[in-house]
Structure 1
């Protein structure tokens, strides 16, 4: 029986439009250029940050992030970044008696920004806070521990096959692959994704009929 629904952040709860627009502005290139390069690395199954390195070979992304923060041009997150189905879907899951956890590969600052949105969830945690990131098995071990559940009682919801779906399956969790964002759409019908996912969904509002008691 599912007791906990855990969700990724980028392109699951929030649109990454602002993220990539911010990088484009910081690097002084057109936003469309960054979007196109993100699409290219998605299609190749490469890390998203490789899109930035195509523009600035050898770019230290972590150092550039710190420079943006120091210049007052760092991470931002507002209500407008949330997908429309997020609040109603999360509220419905909690009302059904399920524990709802947000856990993704984000910074410590992003965790604070997410908490400021006052989402209807039981826990928000990021890789920056935990000191371990997806797809590492330790991330999912920590998630299960925080959920106070067994792996098979937790369903992990995300768009990214390599970071969300496959490692969650390997850790023994149930999985829902979300067709959302570049990764979610491009890889949705890949045979490996179809075979690995317990469920394949196009909206968070599809979760309650699947996992509700």
Structure 2
């Protein structure tokens, strides 16, 4: 039985439109150009930051991120960035008795912005706050430390096979692959993803049915 549901953030709860648009504007390239390059690295199974490196070889992404913040062009996150099913699904999960945790590869700033949205979740944490990022085993050790339930009763939900499904399964968690965003759609029907995921879902609303014994 699933007692804790842990959800990824980017392209699981939030759209990445604003994120990539801001990077394109900062780098002074057409938004479509960067979007297309994001698609290219998805197909190759590469890190999404490689899309930025293709535009600016040798760029220090972390340093550039800090420069954006200093220039007042840093992260923004509000209600419009959430997928429409997020609040209803999280509320339904809690009403059904599940502990709801949000944990993904995001900055400290993203964690602050998410908490300001007052989402129906018991805990919100990011890799920037934990000091360890997916797909490292340490990230999923932290997930289990806040789950309050055994790995077999903890479900990790995400769109990215390499960052979410495979490492979560390796850590003993149950897994649900979400067909959402470029990674979720591109890898949705890949045999290795289907076999690694306990469930494949098209909407977060479907998660409530997974709580049934």
Q: Same fold (TM over 0.5)?
A: yes
Q: What is the distance in 2 between the residues matched to 1:141 and 1:212?
A: 25
| Paired residues of 1:87 and 1:119 also in contact (CA < 8 A) | yes
**Secondary structure of the residue that 2:210 maps to in structure 1?**
helix
Question: Structure 1 stretches (4+) deviating beyond 3 angstroms?
Answer: none
Partner of 1:8: 8
Shift of 1:147: 1.1
Name the structure 1 match of 2:23.
23
- Given the two structures, how large is their TM-score scaled by the length of structure 1? 0.99
- State the distance in 2 between where 1:61 and 1:188 align: 29
Kept in 2, the 8 Å contact 1:96–1:212? The answer is no
Aligned to 2:191: 191
Whole-angstrom CA distance in 2 between matches of 1:22 and 1:212: 41
Give the 5 Å matches for 1:34-49: 34-49=34-49
Q: Which residue pairs with 2:125 in the alignment?
A: 125
In structure 1, the partner of 2:152 is: 152
- What is the CA-CA distance between 1:191 and the residue it aligns to? 0.8
Q: CA deviation at 1:197?
A: 0.4
Q: Distance in 2 between matches of 1:154 and 1:82?
A: 23
Q: 2:75 aligns to what?
A: 75
Asked if the contact 1:8/1:158 (under 8 Å) is kept, the reply is yes
Alpha-carbon distance between aligned partners in 2 of 1:124 and 1:43, rounded to the nearest angstrom: 30
CA distance in 2: counterparts of 1:193 and 1:162, whole angstroms: 9
Aligned to 1:105: 105
Structure 2 residue runs of 5 or longer lacking an equivalent are none
How much is the aligned-residue C-alpha RMSD, in angstroms? 0.6
1:12-57 Cα deviation digits (max 9, x unpaired): 0000000000000000000000000000000000000000000000
Offset of residue 207 of structure 1: 0.4
Answer whether contact 1:5 1:99 (CA < 8 A) is retained.
yes
Q: Deviation per CA, 1:73-132, whole angstroms, max 9, x where unpaired?
A: 000001000000000000000001100000000000000000000000000000000000
Structure 1 partner of 2:203: 203
Which residue number in structure 2 is paired with residue 140 of structure 1? Answer: 140
TM-score (norm 2): 0.99
The whole-number CA distance in structure 2 between the counterparts of 1:11 and 1:96 is: 24
CA contact (8 A) 2:152 2:173 kept: yes
Aligned to 2:182: 182
SS at match of 2:157: strand
Deviates more, 1:144-153 or 1:99-108: 144-153
**CA-CA distance at 1:201 after TM superposition:** 0.3
